[in-house]
Amino acid sequence: MASKNAAFYSCKFNRSETIKSHRTLEAAIKAAGDFGMVFDKGLNIERQVHRMANNQLSSFAEGSRSHESMDFKFSDELLKLGLIVK
């Protein structure tokens, strides 16, 4: 179970049961994996993680060209669980 005082949260694509808390963005990106989601609590930014052509994971914020819209909103799941406040 994720803790409330974490700086970052991660989850696998469209799977809220995989939510984990992290101290660093790098750890959250690694745990999320390809097409995973990362939430930066300090900046209140949701990011998608994608594996790049050089086999490295990169994250992309909402509104960027590489951020794909989908039905699953990670921040909504975190709100439901009480891990973040709006």
Nearest to 25 by CA among 12, 5, 41, 13: 41
Report domain extents, the chain: 8-81
pLDDT confidence of residue 31: 95
Tens-place pLDDT, residues 34-73: 989 999 999 999 999 999 999 999 988 877 777 777 777 8
Mean pLDDT, rounded, for 12-25: 91
pLDDT confidence of residue 38: 95
CA distance 71 to 57: 22
pLDDT confidence of residue 27: 96
Tens-place pLDDT, residues 26-38: 999 999 999 899 9
